[in-house]
């Protein structure tokens, strides 16, 4: 007891010393309270005010993220007794999350189906701000406890967002499926964490006895514990076999929520995966679990399942859902390099993917509200009725496929380059198989991505009502045009984005 009391001043001093490096997260916590109180005081008609406060607050948080780069000029910094680690890659991940959180908050306010919600959207903005705080913690977590708490924080927000339109049966069903799969993956991950703690007596990735304890334990138990722990991370990344929830949830959730689920948790999930892998990869004597083999197999299967399943899809959101599984498998290629170049290419690819994926779902929402079209066959002839949306959609799908000249092409080129460089250094056959699979599945993706422009421009239109366009859709289209411009800009001048990482 006396020893515990003597440690209290040290713990307080450590926490206070960590606060200057935790400023964006403090701002997010304050922003959450402000948005919540705004909703309470102004009622259901405060959605527009909550949206302005949330977007403006996130801009301020983004500026604080940028300011953190100056604090890290002397190197990475452990925070709150080694619960979190702040470094330059973590700041880059947080910047990407905050930029797209702002874009998505605007998207939420323009989504026609969400705007019809009887309770309004004020609660939704509160949930999003809380989820961004959880995403920040996910990105910096280097302790199994902080990892689990961050994942649960983001998961709870995601459940609420997926089922936000509870009056809609399809949306409610999607939310329920998400909750059930999430609860199971959470329980499995918690069991894996408990096994690791029982084997090592430590929860910290970089300090304590975690690596040494696992090296001394039974390899079978170690493999089981690590695999079960990776289940929770895999649920956020939606790689195979933790992908079952993706198609139904992406299709059933409001389109703006689908854009959120397919980008922000995935970006933070990759940062979390890198944090988890780092101590094992750079421990020279580690041999109890082959992470490169594990990631390679998961990446190969995810690319094959995601891309081939997408070929048969008719619903646009479901198609993009399966394609996101394929993109996850492709990004795992960069992670499997275990190199700084791999992390840089991963950051570039995730940003390029987020631009294209959010823009694609915005245009899908725009066309659905304008014409009622929600599947590929219903897009016939829409390219001539809505030429701006049609041309933007083609450019966005070119980027998602990875064709020149687009941000997606540069992203895929950087990933392939990092994997090839790693292969030249160690001649690991799994890296070669990953590159071959990535090239083949990129060709396969042409078959389903190009179905949309094929129907929009090369097939005759059927019965559509082009007059039923909401006023807000013009703003939605304008944002889509801006995102398309960014895709082309990064495709022609990739250094604008690459220099950030």
Per residue in 220-264, pLDDT tens?
A: 899 999 999 998 888 888 898 888 888 888 888 889 999 999 999
Could you write out the three-class secondary structure of 69-105? HHHHHHCCEEECCCCEEECHHHHHHHHHHHHHHHHHH
pLDDT at 1 over 60: no
Q: Reduced to 3 states, what is the DSSP secondary structure of residue 123?
A: helix
- How many residues are present in the chain? 501
User: How far is it, in rounded angstroms, from Cα 194 to Cα 439?
Assistant: 39
How is residue 326 written in tokens? Answer: 């394929």
Looking at per-residue pLDDT, the higher value among 115 and 267 belongs to: 267
Angle at 151 between CA 184 and CA 84, to 5 degrees: 145
User: How far is it, in rounded angstroms, from Cα 278 to Cα 416?
Assistant: 21
pLDDT at 168 over 70: no
Q: Reduced to 3 states, what is the DSSP secondary structure of residue 168?
A: coil
How is residue 478 written in tokens? Answer: 């304008």
Q: Residue 381: CA atoms inside 13 Å, Cβ hemisphere, count?
A: 8
Q: Residue 340: CA atoms inside 13 Å, Cβ hemisphere, count?
A: 4
How is residue 465 written in tokens? Answer: 């009502």
- What separation, in Å, do the N-terminal and C-terminal C-alpha atoms of the chain show? 47
pLDDT category of residue 471 using cuts at 50, 70 and 90: very low
Distances (CA, A) of 446 to 169, 301, 451: 33, 19, 8
How is residue 328 written in tokens? Answer: 């996850």
User: How far is it, in rounded angstroms, from Cα 333 to Cα 22?
Assistant: 31
pLDDT at 2 over 60: no
Q: Residue 334: CA atoms inside 13 Å, Cβ hemisphere, count?
A: 26
Q: What is the pTM of this model?
A: 0.93
Max CA pair span of the chain: 81
Question: What does the CA dihedral 104, 109, 113, 117 come to, rounded to 10 degrees?
Answer: 120
pLDDT in tens, 334-390: 999 988 899 999 999 999 999 999 999 999 999 988 888 888 888 888 888 889 999
Q: What percent of the chain has pLDDT over 90?
A: 56
pLDDT in tens, 179-205: 888 888 999 999 999 999 999 888 899
Q: What is the DSSP letter of 375?
A: B
pLDDT at 498 over 70: yes
Question: Which positions ≥6 away from 451 have C-beta within 8 Å?
Answer: 376
User: How far is it, in rounded angstroms, from Cα 201 to Cα 206?
Assistant: 13
Question: Which positions ≥6 away from 295 have C-beta within 8 Å?
Answer: 332, 335, 336
Contact 121, 47 (CB under 8 A): yes
Contact 100, 354 (CB under 8 A): yes
- Output Rg (C-alpha) for the chain, integer angstroms: 22
User: How far is it, in rounded angstroms, from Cα 190 to Cα 198?
Assistant: 12
User: How far is it, in rounded angstroms, from Cα 373 to Cα 98?
Assistant: 31
Region of 427 (left: φ > 0; alpha: ψ -120 to 50; beta: rest) is: left
The whole-angstrom distance between residue 229's C-alpha and the CA centroid of its chain comes to: 19
Contact 399, 408 (CB under 8 A): yes
The structure tokens 């996101």 sit at: 324
Quick one: which of 172, 71, 198, 90 has its CA closest to 138?
90
pLDDT at 472 over 70: no
pLDDT at 63 over 90: yes
pLDDT category of residue 3 using cuts at 50, 70 and 90: low
pLDDT, position 469: 45
Distances (CA, A) of 402 to 275, 316, 398: 28, 19, 6
Quick one: which of 97, 92, 40 has its CA closest to 69?
92
Contact 50, 20 (CB under 8 A): no
pLDDT, position 164: 79
The structure tokens 């940028």 sit at: 66
Q: What is the DSSP letter of 160?
A: H
pLDDT at 120 over 60: yes
Contact 35, 126 (CB under 8 A): yes
Contact 32, 130 (CB under 8 A): yes
């Amino acid at each position: 007891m006396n020893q515990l009391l003597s440690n209290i001043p040290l713990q307080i001093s450590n926490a206070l010393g960590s606060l200057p490096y935790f400023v964006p997260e403090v701002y997010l916590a304050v922003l959450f309270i402000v948005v919540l109180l705004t909703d309470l005081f102004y009622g259901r008609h405060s959605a527009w005010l909550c949206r302005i406060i949330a977007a403006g607050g996130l801009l301020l948080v983004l500026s604080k993220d940028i300011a953190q780069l100056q604090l890290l000029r002397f190197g990475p910094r452990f925070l709150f007794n080694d619960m979190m680690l702040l470094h330059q890659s973590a700041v880059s991940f947080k910047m990407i999350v905050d930029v797209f959180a702002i874009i998505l908050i605007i998207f939420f306010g323009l989504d026609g189906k969400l705007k019809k919600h009887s309770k309004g959207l004020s609660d939704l903005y509160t949930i999003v701000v809380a989820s961004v705080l959880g995403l920040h913690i996910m990105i910096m977590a280097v302790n199994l406890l902080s990892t689990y708490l961050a994942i649960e924080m983001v998961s709870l927000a995601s459940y609420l967002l997926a089922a936000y339109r509870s009056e809609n049966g399809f949306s409610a069903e999607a939310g329920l499926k998400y909750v059930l799969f999430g609860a199971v993956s959470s329980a499995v991950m918690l069991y894996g964490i408990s096994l690791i703690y029982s084997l090592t007596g430590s929860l910290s990735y970089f300090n304590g006895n975690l690596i040494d304890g696992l090296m001394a334990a039974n390899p079978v138990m170690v493999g089981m514990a690590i695999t079960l722990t990776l289940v929770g991370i895999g649920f956020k990344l939606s790689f195979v076999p933790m992908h079952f929830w993706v198609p139904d949830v992406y299709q059933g959730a409001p389109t703006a929520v689908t854009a959120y689920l397919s980008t922000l948790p995935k970006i933070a999930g990759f940062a979390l995966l890198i944090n988890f892998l780092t101590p094992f990869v750079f421990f020279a004597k580690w041999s109890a679990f082959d992470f490169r083999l594990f990631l390679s197999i998961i990446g190969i299967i995810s690319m094959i399942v995601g891309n081939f399943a997408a070929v048969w899809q008719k619903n646009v959101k479901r198609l993009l859902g399966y394609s996101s599984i394929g993109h996850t498998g492709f990004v795992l290629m960069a992670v499997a390099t275990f190199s700084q170049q791999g992390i840089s290419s991963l950051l570039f690819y995730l940003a390029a993917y987020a631009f294209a994926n959010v823009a694609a779902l915005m245009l899908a929402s725009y066309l659905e509200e304008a014409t009622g079209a929600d599947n590929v066959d219903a897009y016939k002839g829409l390219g001539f009725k809505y030429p701006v949306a049609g041309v933007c959609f083609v450019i966005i799908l070119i980027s998602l496929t990875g064709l020149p000249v687009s941000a997606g092409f540069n992203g895929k080129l950087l990933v392939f380059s990092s994997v090839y460089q790693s292969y030249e250094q160690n001649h690991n056959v799994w890296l070669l198989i990953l590159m071959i699979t990535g090239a083949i599945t990129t060709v396969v993706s042409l078959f389903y991505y190009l179905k949309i422009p094929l129907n929009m421009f090369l097939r005759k239109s059927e019965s559509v009502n082009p007059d039923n366009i909401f006023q807000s859709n013009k703003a939605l289209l304008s944002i889509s045009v801006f995102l398309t411009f960014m895709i082309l800009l990064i495709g022609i001048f990739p250094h604008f984005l690459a220099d950030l990482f």
